[in-house]
Structure 1
Amino acid sequence: MTATADPAARAATPSAHDDSVARRLLESSAAASYDPQVEVDWETPLDPADHGTCPEWSTLYGTAYWDELDEAQRAELTRQESACVASTGIWFELILQQMMLRDMYVKDRTSAEFQWALTEIADECRHSIMFARGADKLNAPAYLPKRAVVELGRVFKTIAWGEAAYAAILVAEEVLDVMQRDWMRDERVAPFVRTINNIHVVEESRHMKFARQEVVERMAGAGVARRHASAVLVAAAAYFIVTSMVNDRVYVEAGLDVERAKREAAGNEHYKALLRSSCRGLMEFLGSAGLLTKPAAAIYQRANLL
C-alpha cells in the first residue's frame, strides 16, 4: 500500500524549475544589490528647484492648472507626489512581505526558492526604509491611502492565495518600474531621488521575474472558477493600488486649490495615457496567463490601466 504524503511535505517540495529560477536570482542578488544607507546621498540639503518626479508624470501636467503654476509650485507638487508614491509603495510592500512569508511558511528551507523569497523580503525591508527616509527628505508627511483602502489591504493580504498574491505583487511593481525608469534618468529630479529610483528599478527587476514565474506555474493547474476569481481579485487590488498612489493631500501640502486640483487631475488624459502605456506589457502578460477576463478588464479600464 502506498502511503499518502503529508500536505506540508508536498508544499515544501519545490519544482526543479522553481529552484533553477530562484538560484539564478540569488546569484544576481549577490552580484548587484545596494545598501541605501550608503548609496543614497542623505546629507546634501534638498534644492528647492529640484523636482520629485519628471514633471510629465505629475497628475496635473497638461492641465490648465499646471500652466498657471510657477516653477517653484510645480517642483513642490512633484516632490509631494513623489513622496506619496513612495509612501503608498511602503504600504503595499508591507502587504507583500506578509503574503510571501505566509506562502513560504511550510516550504523546504534548503531550497533556493525559500532562500530567494527571504532575500526578496529583505530587499523590501530596505526599500521601505529607503522610501521613508526619501519622503522625509522631501519634507512630506506620512501619506497613507484612505482608511477604507487600508482596511481592504488587511483583507487582501489575508485571503490572497498563490497566483492572486504574486500577480498583485507584479502589478504594483510593474507600474512603479516604468515611472521610476523615467524619473531616475531625468536631471530635473533631485539627485537623491534618482538614486533611490535606480536602486529600486535594479532590485525590483528580480522581484518581477520571480513573481511572473510564480504566476505562470500556479496558473498551470487552475480551473475556470479559480482563474476567474483570481483575475477579479488581482484587478481589484490593482485598482486600489493605482488610485492610491497620489492622494488628495498632496495638493494641500503643495499649497494648491484642492478642489480644482482634484477636478483637473480626474480629467487629465495625459496622465491616464501614461498609466495605460506603462501597463501595456503587464496586460499582455496577464492575458497570456489567463488573468485578463472580461470582468477584470473592466476594472483595469476603470483604473486607466487598459
Structure 2
Amino acid sequence: MAASDVADVLADLVTDATEHHYSPYTRFDWADTLAERQWWMSPELLSVAGTRYAEEWDEERLMRLSKWESINFFSLNIHGIRELLIEVTRRIHTPGFELPSEFFHRFLGEENGHMWFFAQFCLRYGDRIYPDKSLPVAGSEEDTEVDHFLVFARILIFEELVDHFNLRMGRDTTLHPLIREVNQVHHDDEWRHIVMGRKLVEHLYQPLRERADEALRARLDDYLRRYITASMQSLYNPAVYRDAGVADPYVLRKELLRDPARTRYHETFFKRITKFLVNQGIISHSPFDSVTA
C-alpha cells in the first residue's frame, strides 16, 4: 500500500474526528441507579447464549447475569484501552509513524475519554472494575518491525471485537437508554479507529511480507490466532458467574468453553477481523475452524 493512500485516509479521519469532537465528561446523563431486573446486555451476546443454560435459567437469572457480563465487557474495554494508550503513546512522533501521528492525537484523546466513561459506568452501577486476569500471549519482540506490526494487529483485533458488541447493543431497544448510548457513542468513534487500524496493519505488514521469510510469517499467523482465542476466552469470566450467583463458576466457564454451540457465536464475534486478516494473507484461517477449548 502506498504511503500516499494511508496519508489520504488519515487526513479524512482527522477531519471527521475534529468535526465530531465532544466532551465525554458532559456527554452522558448518568442515572442515579439502574434497575437490577432488566437487560444490561443483549441476550444473544451473553456467554450462555445457545447453551442449555439460556433455556433452563429463568429470565430474572439471565438478567442478573447480563448485568455482570455488561460490567465485565466494559472492564475489558478499560484494560484494552490502557494497553493501546501506552503503546500508541510510545510511538507518536517517532520515526516510522510520522504519517499517523496527527490522527494519533485524536485517537489518544478519544480513547482516554472512552476509558473514563466505561470506568464511570462500572463504578456507578457495579461498584467494581473487574481486574485484568488475562494471560499475555508471549510475543515481546526485539525485531522493531515485527513489534510495531503486532502492537497494531492486537489493537485492531480488540477494537473489532468490541465494536461487534457495541453495534448490537447500541441498537437494542430492550436495553436501558443509557446502556444503549454508551455503546453507541463508543461505536461512533470506533469506526474511525478501525479504519485507521486496518490501514496501519496492512501498511506495517508489507515489509514483513517482502522479507519472504516463511518461518516468520507462520509464527505471526500462529501468534495472532492464539491472541484471537485468548480475547474470546476473556468474555468468560468466573468472577462474573460468581457475582451472578453461580455456585461453581469455574465449572460453568469450562463447560461453556467446551460447548460446540458457542463456536458459532465466536465465529460471529470475530468474523470481520478474521476475514480481513485472511484476505490480507496475514493469518491462514480462523482460529475457530479447529479450536478446542
TM-score (norm 2): 0.86
Instruction: Quote the offset at 1:250 in angstroms.
Output: 0.4
Change (3 A) 1:162 1:303: farther
CA shift in 2, pair 1:272/1:39, >3 Å: farther
Output aligned runs, 1:113-262, within 5 Å.
113-146=100-133, 149=135, 152=136, 161-222=147-208, 223=211, 224=213, 225-259=215-249, 261-262=252-253
Q: Does residue 79 of structure 2 align to residue 88 of structure 1?
A: no
Alpha-carbon shift at residue 64 of structure 1 (Å): 2.8
- Counterpart contact for 1:164–1:231, Cα < 8 Å: no
Query: Higher mean Cα deviation, 179-188 or 195-204?
Result: 179-188
Q: Summarize deviations over 1:134-191 as a string: whole Å, max 9, x none.
A: 1123325321232x61xx27x6577662222111111111111112211111122222
Q: Taking structure 1 as reference, are residues 186 and 70 closer, same or farther at Cα in structure 2, changes over 3 Å only? A: same
- 5+ unaligned residues in a row in structure 2: which ranges? none
Of 96, 103, 110, the residue aligned with 2:91 is 103
Select between 129-138 and 258-267 the one with higher mean Cα deviation. 258-267
Q: Which residue of 2 aligns with 1:40?
A: 28
- One-letter code of the match for 1:257? A
Over 3 Å counting, the alpha-carbon distance change for 1:62 and 1:233 in structure 2 is closer
Given residue 117 of structure 2, which amino acid in structure 1 is its aligned partner? M
What is the number of equivalent residue pairs in this alignment? 284
CA contact (8 A) 1:127 1:200 kept: yes
Q: Which blocks of at least 5 consecutive residues in structure 1 are unaligned?
A: 1-13
Q: What SS is found at the alignment partner of 1:18?
A: helix
Instruction: Label 1:133 to 1:270 Cα distance change in 2 as closer, same or farther (>3 A).
Output: farther
Deviation of residue 270 (structure 1)? 4.2
- 1:230-254 C-alpha deviation (Å, 9 max, x unpaired): 3233223222222113311101111
Flag the 1:227–1:162 CA change in 2: closer, same or farther, 3 A.
farther
Aligned counterpart in structure 1 of residue 267 of structure 2, from 271, 276, 280: 276
CA RMSD of aligned residues (A): 2.6
Contact 1:175 1:279 in 2 (8 A): yes
Q: Letter of the aligned partner of 2:267 in structure 1?
A: R
Matched, 1:62 2:50: yes
Q: Secondary structure at the match of 1:257?
A: coil
Render the CA deviation track for 1:253-282: whole Å, top value 9, x for unaligned: 111233453354224444431220232222
Once the 2 structures are TM-superposed, how far is the Cα of residue 62 of structure 1 from its aligned partner? 3.1
**Inter-partner Cα distance in structure 2 for 1:251 and 1:192:** 24
1:85–1:245 CA contact under 8 A, matched in 2: yes
Q: Percent identity?
A: 20
- Aligned-partner Cα distance in 1 for 2:108–2:140: 15
Partner of 1:8: none
Distance, in Å, in 2 between the alignment partners of 1:107 and 1:279 is 32
In structure 2, the CA distance between the partners of 1:71 and 1:137, relative to structure 1 (3 Å rule), is farther
2-side partners of 1:51 and 1:145: how far apart? 24
Q: Is the 8 A contact 2:258 2:292 kept in 1?
A: no
Partner SS for 2:100: helix
Are the aligned partners of 1:59 and 1:268 in contact in 2 as well (CA < 8 Å)? Answer: no
TM-score (norm 1): 0.82
1:129 alignment partner, SS class: helix
Q: Give distance in 2, aligned partners of 1:301 and 1:180.
A: 27
Q: Which amino acid aligns with 2:131?
A: L
**TM alignment of 1:12-31, pairs within 5 A:** 15-31=3-19
